[in-house]
Structure 1
Amino acid sequence: MSPVDIQIITRKAKLIEVDLAILAKNQPKSYKQYLKSATSQLIIERLLERIVGKMIDINYHLLSERCGFVPNNYTQSFTELGKRGIVSEKLANELAKSGGLRNALAHEYDEIDPKKIYESIEMALTQVPKYLKSVLKKIYTSCHG
C-alpha cells in the first residue's frame, strides 16, 4: 500500500474516533431516555451513519488497493475483511450487520426500528474500536484469502 493509501485510512480512522467520542458523550442512559429526545435520536443516527460510512470506505479501500478485490456490497466489505484475516471473522460478521443500518439511515427508510438504533450505540462503542485496532495493525501487512 502506498503512503497515500495509508494516510487515507489513518485519517478516516481518526475521524471515526472523534465520532465515537461524541457518540459516547451523547449515549442515553436508557432506551426510554433515548425515545424522549428527538434531538438525541438525530445526533445518534447521524453519528452512526458517519461511523459506518467511514468504515465502509476503509473496507473498500483496503480490499481494492491491497487485495485487488472489490466487494459487491457493504456487507461483503466486512465479511471479506474477516476472510482475509484483516479483522477476526467473528468481528467481521458482527459488523457486517451495520451495512444495512447505514443504508436505512442514509436513505431515511420509514421502517427504522428505534430499538435497533439504540442497540447499535453499544455495538459501535465496543466493536468499532476493535475494528480500528485490527485495521490499523494490518495496513502494513500483505493481504491473503
Structure 2
Amino acid sequence: MTNKFILENKISSIKKYLKILDDYKDLSREKITNDVNTKGAVERYLYLATQATIDLAEAIISYKNYRKPATFSESFTILAEEKIIDKILEEKLTKMVGFRNALAHGYEKIDYEVVYDSLQNGPKDIGGFINIVEDLYS
C-alpha cells in the first residue's frame, strides 16, 4: 500500500465515524447519559473516530519521516511543531486522546457529561484536522 492510499483509507474511516456520530448530536444530554444503547454507541464511535485520527497523525509522521512519537498525544505535538496543525488544534486533539484513553481503560469511571461534551465538540475538531490533511495531500 502506498502512503497516500493509507492516508485516504484513514480519512475515509474517520468520515464514516463522524457521519454516524452526527446522527446522535441533536439528542438531549439526558438521552445520551441515561440510555444504555445510545451511550454505548456514542462511546464506541467517539473512540473509533479518535483512534483513527491518531492513526492518521502517525501515518503522516511516518510519511514525512518526522521523529517517532512516544505517546498518542505526542503525535499531535509533533504535527504542531512541524506546522501541520496549530497549537489550538493540537490542544483539542490532545484532549480527545485523553478522552479516548479514559474510554479504553476506565469504563467504570466514565463521566457521561464529558461523553456528551465530546460528542458536541470532538467531531468538529477531528473534521478540522481532516480538512488540513486533505488540503495538504490532495
For normalisation by structure 1, the TM-score amounts to 0.87
What secondary structure does 1:91 align onto? helix
Match among 43, 51, 58 for residue 53 of structure 1: 51
Q: Which amino acid aligns with 1:117?
A: V
Is the Cα–Cα contact under 8 Å of residues 10 and 56 in structure 2 kept in the other structure?
Answer: yes
What secondary structure does 1:14 align onto? helix
Q: Give the match for residue 12 of structure 2.
A: 14
Q: Give the match for residue 90 of structure 2.
A: 92
Give distance in 1, aligned partners of 2:121 and 2:78.
20
Is the Cα–Cα contact under 8 Å of residues 67 and 78 in structure 2 kept in the other structure?
Answer: no
Within a 5 Å distance, the mapping from 1:52-71 to structure 2 comes to 52-71=50-69
Give distance in 2, aligned partners of 1:36 and 1:116.
13
What secondary structure does 2:108 align onto? coil
Q: Identity of paired residues, percent?
A: 25
Q: Give the match for residue 77 of structure 2.
A: 79
Once the two structures are superposed, residues 44-70 of structure 1 have per-residue CA deviations (whole angstroms, 9 ceiling, x without a partner) of 000011001111111111112313311
Give distance in 2, aligned partners of 1:135 and 1:16.
12
Q: Which has the higher helix share?
A: 2
- State the number of aligned residues: 138
For normalisation by structure 2, the TM-score amounts to 0.91
What secondary structure does 2:130 align onto? helix
* RMSD (Å), alpha carbons: 1.6
Q: Which runs of 5+ in 2 are unaligned?
A: none
Deviation at 1:108, TM superposition (A): 4.0
Is the Cα–Cα contact under 8 Å of residues 81 and 87 in structure 1 kept in the other structure?
Answer: yes
Deviation at 1:19, TM superposition (A): 0.8
Give distance in 1, aligned partners of 2:88 and 2:65.
20
Give distance in 2, aligned partners of 1:43 and 1:54.
16
What secondary structure does 1:71 align onto? coil
Q: Which amino acid aligns with 1:16?
A: I
